[in-house]
Amino acid sequence: MGSLNKKKYIKIAKNVIDLEIKALKKLKSSMNNSFEEAVSAIVKCQSKVILCGVGKSGLIAAKIAATLSSVGTPSFSLSASDCSHGDLGSISKKDILILISYSGSTEELKNIIKYANRNKILLIGIMSKKNSILYKASDIKLLIPEVAEAGLGIVPTSSTISQLSIGDALAVATMSKKNINKKDFKKYHPAGSLGEKLKTVEDLMLTKNKIPFINENSNMKNALRIITLKKLGTLLVRDVKGNTTGIITDGQIRRFSEKNESLYGLKVKNIMTKNPKKVEKDTLAMKALSIMNENKITSLCVNSTINKRKTIGIVHIHNILENTSY
């Protein structure tokens, strides 16, 4: 009996998912120039994007507002019921107002629509019915196809998935039009797993007097002193112009010592590895770690973007492993 019930519930789950997939396919086919108008308006907005809905649509509004904010468009959501009790004052004429209602005729939205029209606030409507108040009042109309709901045909499922999807599409399209890159995205996600994934070499590298530099004409006695003092197991070798010409590791020194009686009479340039591996400061830490693993090395030079021969930092494998959970 228990096994039969499990199969029944799995069948229900699949039916719900099938309905939602059909809804998304209908939404995809319905996309038109109104979407482009909405994206352009959001990008040009000099103030805030405010979203509002009732019930499940209100929850979707909050999620879309959070997503827009996370990709560089200042946004927040308002409770439709609170708007009739003073919160309309938080909407200014320079804002964009996005109202979400499947029917487009939700009673609680009427006062907000009137306020937006009276104050000439740009109104983007997300609804499914052309004969609705919201459709008629909206400056930009994002019409969602009418869809079959799961759960007795009345539980908001397919419709809310459609609302959520068009909201995500607006956020990502806006992000693209604003040319938001990973570095920009990181500003809005400094913590958590996203922030960790977006850490760059610049966040973790050692700079200035912490970089273990040595001149290529220095003797190995001095090199041993500096490599011991800096405790990185690595030396970056420079010429008289300050350009990085090579690298020496403590492993190299040990291997060389095994084959030669004395290092002290040698110059640094005699045993250094030329043209050390380098990255730019905006390289993701995850990518830098991958480069180290592929090349079986423990450090990378971070070179200037202006003069690619000058090193402005060094990132050691320990800097990455100690500050991330990769």
- 3-state class (DSSP) for residue 77: strand
**Burial call 242-280: b when 16+ CB within 10 Å, e when fewer:** eebbbbbbeebbeeeeeeeeebeeeebbebbeeebebbe
pLDDT of 22 above 90: yes
Percent over 70 (pLDDT), the chain:
92
Backbone phi, psi, residue 45, to 5°: -60, 125
Q: Do 232 and 297 contact (CB within 8 A), yes or no?
A: no
Cα 29 to its chain centre, rounded Å, is 28
325's tokens: 């959970």
At 187, is the pLDDT very low, low, confident or very high (cuts 50, 70, 90)? low
Residue 57's pLDDT is: 93
**Residue 25, Cα to own-chain centre: how many angstroms?**
26
Q: Which two tokens stand for residue 220?
A: 């190995």
The pLDDT assigned to 42 comes to 96
- Cβ burial, residue 13 (10 Å; 0-12/13-18/19+): exposed
What confidence category does residue 237 fall into, taking pLDDT thresholds of 50, 70 and 90?
very high
Superfamily of structural domain 201-323: CBS-domain (3.10.580.10)
Overall pTM > 0.85 = no
Does residue 3 have a pLDDT over 70? no
132-152 tens-digit pLDDT? 999 999 999 999 999 999 988
The yes-or-no verdict on residue 243 having pLDDT over 60 is yes
pLDDT confidence band for 158 (50 / 70 / 90): very high
Q: Is 313 helix (H, G, I), strand (E, B) or coil?
A: strand
pLDDT band at 305 (very low <50, low <70, confident <90, very high): confident
Flag whether pLDDT at 317 surpasses 80: yes
The stretch 225-235 carries a mean pLDDT of 87
How far apart are the C-alpha atoms of 42 and 247, rounded to whole Å?
50
- pLDDT-derived band at 174 (thresholds 50, 70, 90) equals very high
Instruction: With cut-offs at 50, 70 and 90, classify the pLDDT of residue 279.
Output: very high
What is the per-residue pLDDT for 56? Answer: 92
Q: Mean pLDDT across the stretch 174-203?
A: 72
Per-position b or e across 16-32, b if 16+ CB within 10 A of its CB:
beebbeebbebbeeeee
Per-residue pLDDT, 193: 59
Domains of the chain, residue spans = 2-180, 201-323
Residue 50 has pLDDT above 60, yes or no: yes
Task: Enter the tokens of residue 144.
Answer: 């969602």
For 326, the token pair is: 């990769």
Question: Mean pLDDT throughout 241-255?
Answer: 86
In this predicted structure, the answer to whether residue 184 has a pLDDT above a threshold of 80 is: no
Over residues 110-127, mean pLDDT:
93
* CA distance readout (Å), 199 to 17, 142, 182, 264: 36, 37, 10, 41
How confident is the model at residue 34, as a pLDDT? 96
- What pLDDT sits at residue 190? 57
Q: How far apart are CA 48 and CA 51, in angstroms?
A: 10
Lowest mean pLDDT among 49-58, 97-106, 299-308: 299-308
Assigned fold of 2-180: Rossmann fold (3.40.50)
Q: What is the pLDDT of residue 130?
A: 93
Per-residue pLDDT, averaged over 64-70, amounts to 91
The C-alpha torsion from 108 through 113 and 115 to 116, rounded to 10°, is 140
